[in-house]
Structure 1
Amino acid sequence: MRVEQIYTGCLAQGAYYIVSNGEAAIIDPLREVKPYIELLEKDGVKLKYIFETHFHADFVSGHIDLSAETGAPIIYGPNAAPEFDCIVAEDNQVFELGAVKIKVLHTPGHTMESTTYLLIDENGKDHAIFSGDTLFLGDVGRPDLAQKAASMTQEQLAGHLYDSLMTKIMPLADDVIVYPAHGAGSACGKNMMKETVDTLGNQKKVNYALNQPNKEAFVAAVTDGLLPPPAYFGANVAMNKKGYRNVDEVINQGMTALSPEEFETAAESTGALILDTRSNGEFAKEFIPQSVNIGINGDFAPWVGAMIGDVNQPLLLITDKGMEEEVVIRLSRVGFDNVLGYLKGGIEAWKTAGKETDQVDRISAEEFKERLKVGESVVYDVRKESEYEAEHVEEAYSRPLASINDWIKDINPKEHFFVHCAGGYRSMIAASILQARGYRNFTEIEGGFKAIAETGVPKTDFVCQSKVMKA
């Protein structure tokens, strides 16, 4: 028996590959299925099952394309009702895989079809659980995403989650390995550990949710401090439940190379959003007017989902040379399938064609120190509230990037302000959105709070972030 975790850091997502005696199973596969096919061929094994822990909200699973490619059936737990052929398993149903078994443990709460899969080894011993979004390391799945579909409140769903954990998960042995669907950085939880594998025994000790004295306390703890879910979550659930376009078609369309003239015409005629995926430093120097910058070297796909929201929005891409396909694939993982193409030759081709460019007013942290007038200057901190509460520039305002659509309308365009994040990634996203919407009376700070903290700019006293994790 072999278990392999296939972890995708930019999504904080774990898929799993299990092999025993020439048969394989894959749990919660990503959208692009080619790597799985290559893995199966390399090992010379047959894919017998595709297990889905639930209808994912934060990414589009590869279950449908993988089933079409391999003939392996898709398996969901009880209560699932997808609009494609699959096996809806019963609670405690057992599936044999080579010399091992995979047992269905229905664990509703995050969603009502949420299911944990228990791996039983060749000797009949409980070996591991693939807990999906039911149990994370350090946290449990948020119970507010399925309220509408389940016709329940988040408190009622949290109650179901408590029962699932106490009756199905906690009785398992301490040496059982926990393989969750997500790690730190995912919006599906609020307090996840950076580790991606642990023992259940350790989680029983350190996981705050598993150490509540009763159901009422558990419900209060897991529902406290939940931020609104990203706008794209509902669309991803629908795609996972109803089906979607073949990923190869999506990639082929997105890989359409456009000349500067074709690119400009497409932007004007389709209402496409120009998404520039270069680094924030390169973007700041020169970019196509009205572009939005979300760098590929960061939490790219989740921020695209959070900032753009509408997965049907037509997109035109600016990328670093050779990164075009990678960008299209990452967009497809979160359901953004309507990429019309990319600018061939990038920003250099645009300039060579004599097209207009724009830039962001960016300064160093040292220059910010010189220009900052405490009590007069306006500073917007676009980090998460928990980061802001831990430590921030004195008299700075908390303006989280995730809620920019709420606070942007309150900006006084006549009043200059500074904007920063932790390191420059999120503040450049904010800067690009601000300029695209006509706000230009601001200055972005290179290097963010990390650089500012080294300059002697007055700051509040540091407070451990673990004490302010409600944000």
Structure 2
Amino acid sequence: MNIKQFEYGPLSHYSYAIVSEGKMAVIDPERDPQQYYDFAKANDAKITAIIQTHPHADFVSSHLEIHNETGATIYNSKKLGADYPHQTFDDGDSITLGKITLKAINTPGHSPDSITIVATEGDKTVMFTGDTLFIGDVGRPDLRENVGNMTAKREELAEMMYETVTTKFNELPDDTIVYPAHGAGSLCGKNLSEAASSTLGDERMGNWAFKDQSKEQFMNTLLDGQPFIPSYFGFNVDINKVGADRLNPNIEKIPFIENTTATGLIVDMRNEAIFKKGHLKGSINIQAESEIDKFETWVGSIVAPNEKFTLVIDKKENKDKILNRLAKIGYEKQVLKVITLSNENLVKTDQLDLEDFKKHPENYTIVDIRNKSEINECKFFENALEHPLNELRDTASQIPTDKPVVVHCAGGYRSTAGSSILENELKNATIYDLSEAIEEFKD
């Protein structure tokens, strides 16, 4: 069984290709389909099937583009209510892919329309679990209360997940390989393992969801302490239900201007040190300097779906790469233009006197922009005001400005974005970013 796992690190997303006898299926593809075309070519295979385990919330899929380019059939649950050409794929349905048989199991819980795909060849069994079963966890049940063809309240979905875990996989052997759609760092669950795969036997032994417990205990554990829901999640469910436009034409039509200026909402992806030396008024510094920066997640949490903005990049050579990253969450259409900066109309960020802050923290208003679940685990400053970053543009006006404001997160990446938001929202206040110096305040 020839299986390739593709990983997109910033969104902790796994997609898959399966090849047998010159035929290839793609499962839960990400926005850029080129890697799947390349893999098909390398294996002398034709893409004949694209399978969606559910309409994903945290990324935009390329299923419709692959269908239009290759003629491959899209398979998904009838419960999804897809608005693109597709074949329903539910309990009892199967696909033959060379020597491999792919069967569908309806596994609601993360969403009402989730399916798991079970692939068998001889005595080997593999399951592609989407966002139902992760390594060490199961998918969160609180993303489909207001979006999608089938909506369901979190309590209803938590109960569905209990039934899924306790009944749907019982006939599968312990040596079944488990391939999920996400790993550690995804907001589609709360305690995902760093491991990219597992076996069903190991999950039955080590995953909390398989422990002997009552339905009430299971539901309480699943519902408690889930991370925040980025504003773009519902937006992506709706895009995936219809199918996204082709990627490259959307990228190519966005204007690019070098050495210029801009007004309005601005997302600046540059390194924080460079940003603080000079940036445009109104800029929010959401860094995309490295491949592991959670740029997509935080753009989609801070900037609302359909909200237009200008994108500032560090150099022309990075334009398409950064636009492709925005397209992962369907935000490329919101970019008015991409620019590099001239030296005109730039403002600097004030630098915190760290020694004075250590000696006299009472002289500052401290703002903790971590997620509520993080704050509940520990606080670094007892009197810090709690304003999670994803809510900060809406709650900034509640922050008193009679003292200088110091913003912190857990490691420095988010506080750069948070302090830049407060620079815009609190016009007459002095704003400081504690940045990586937060490490000096941890026990």
TM-score tier by shorter-chain length is: over 0.9
Deviation at 1:79, TM superposition (A): 1.2
**CA deviation after TM superposition for structure 1 residue 159, in Å:** 1.0
- Taking the aligned partners of 2:276 and 2:178, their CA distance within structure 1 comes to 43
1:317 equivalent to 2:350? Answer no
Aligned counterpart for 1:446 among listed residues 423, 428, 435: 435
Verify: 1:294 aligned to 2:286, yes or no.
yes
Deviations 1:380-434 (A, max 9, x none): 2222344444444342424322232453121112221211223321001001111
Deviations 1:186-240 (A, max 9, x none): 1111111122211121211222222151222111111112344211111111110
Say if 2:271 is the partner of 1:279: yes
In structure 1, which of residues 142, 157, 169 is the aligned counterpart of residue 140 of structure 2?
142
Q: Distance in 2 between matches of 1:401 and 1:259?
A: 30
Match of 1:341 among 318, 334, 337: 337
**1:332 is the counterpart of 2:331:** no
Letter in 1 for 2:7: Y
* 1:208 alignment counterpart: 208
Matching of residue 384 in structure 1 with residue 382 in structure 2: no
CA distance in 1, matches of 2:42, 2:151: 45
Number of residue equivalences: 434
Using the alignment, how far apart are the partners of 2:355 and 2:54 within structure 1? Answer: 47
Question: CA shift at 1:360, angstroms?
Answer: 1.6
Q: State the superposition RMSD in angstroms.
A: 2.0
2:51 and 2:74 in contact (8 A); partners too: yes
Post-superposition shift, 1:93?
A: 1.2
Alpha-carbon distance in 1 for matches of 2:375, 2:224: 18
Deviates more, 1:66-75 or 1:397-406: 397-406
Query: For residues 374 and 431 of structure 1, what CA distance do their matches in structure 2 show?
Result: 17
Secondary structure of the structure 1 residue equivalent to 2:10:
coil
Contact 2:58–2:233 (8 Å) recurs in 1: yes
In the alignment, is the contact (CA less than 8 A) between 1:253 and 1:341 conserved in 2? Answer: no
Q: 2:401 aligns with which of 398, 405, 413?
A: 413
Q: Is residue 253–residue 340 contact of structure 1 (8 Å, CA) maintained in 2? A: no
Post-superposition offset of 1:278: 0.8
1:379 CA drift (Å)? 2.0
Query: 1:469: which partner in 2?
Result: none
Residue identity opposite 2:301 in structure 1:
A
Using the alignment, how far apart are the partners of 2:270 and 2:161 within structure 1? 41
Specify the code of the residue in structure 1 equivalent to 2:172: L
Instruction: Note if 1:436 corresponds to 2:424.
Output: yes
State the distance in 2 between where 1:390 and 1:147 align: 27
Q: Distance in 2 between matches of 1:326 and 1:387?
A: 31
SS of 1:163 mapped into structure 2: helix
User: Deviations 1:320-354 (Å, cap 9, x if unpaired)?
Assistant: 222111110010110102223311xx23xx11xxx
Separation (CA, whole Å) in 1 of partners of 2:78 and 2:217:
27
Shift of 1:248: 1.2
Paired with 1:133 and 1:235, the residues of 2 have a C-alpha distance of: 18
Q: Which aligned pairs between 1:147-226 and structure 2 lie closer than 5 A?
A: 147-148=145-146, 149=148, 150-226=150-226
**Paired residues of 2:225 and 2:373 also in contact (CA < 8 A):** no
Check conservation: 2:137, 2:191, Cα contact below 8 A.
yes
Mapping 1:342-361, distance limit 5 Å: 342-343=338-339, 346-347=340-341, 350-351=342-343, 355-361=344-350
Tell me which moved more, 27-36 or 355-364: 355-364
**Structure 2: any 5+ residue segments left out of the alignment?**
none
Q: What TM-score results when the alignment is normalised by the length of structure 2?
A: 0.92
The letter of the residue matching 1:10 is P
Contact 1:291/1:432, CA 8 A, preserved across alignment: yes
Alignment check: 8 A CA contact 1:12 1:182 kept: yes
Match of 2:414 among 414, 426, 432: 426
- TM-score, length-scaled by structure 1: 0.87
Farther off after superposition, 100-109 or 223-232 = 223-232
Secondary structure class of the residue paired with 2:24: strand
Is the counterpart of residue 19 in structure 1 residue 7 in structure 2?
no
Q: Is the 8 A contact 2:177 2:197 kept in 1?
A: yes
The whole-number CA distance in structure 2 between the counterparts of 1:282 and 1:71 is: 47
- How far apart in 2 are the matches of 1:63 and 1:412? 48
Q: Which residue identity does 1:341 align to in structure 2?
A: K
Identity %: 33
C-alpha contact 1:118 1:129 (8 A) present in aligned 2: yes
**Pairwise CA distance, 1:307:** 0.6
- The answer as to whether partners of 2:396 and 2:425 remain within 8 angstroms in 1 is no
| Partner residue, 1:304 | 299
Q: Is the 8 Å Cα contact of residues 76 and 88 (structure 1) preserved in structure 2?
A: yes
The answer to whether the Cα contact below 8 Å between 1:230 and 1:309 also exists between their aligned partners in 2 is no
Q: Which moved more, 1:376-385 or 1:54-63?
A: 376-385
Distance 1:212 1:319, change over 3 A: farther
1:245, distance to aligned residue in structure 2 (A): 2.3
Cα 1:368–1:119 shift into 2, 3 Å: farther
Cα distance between partner residues in 1 of 2:55 and 2:397: 35
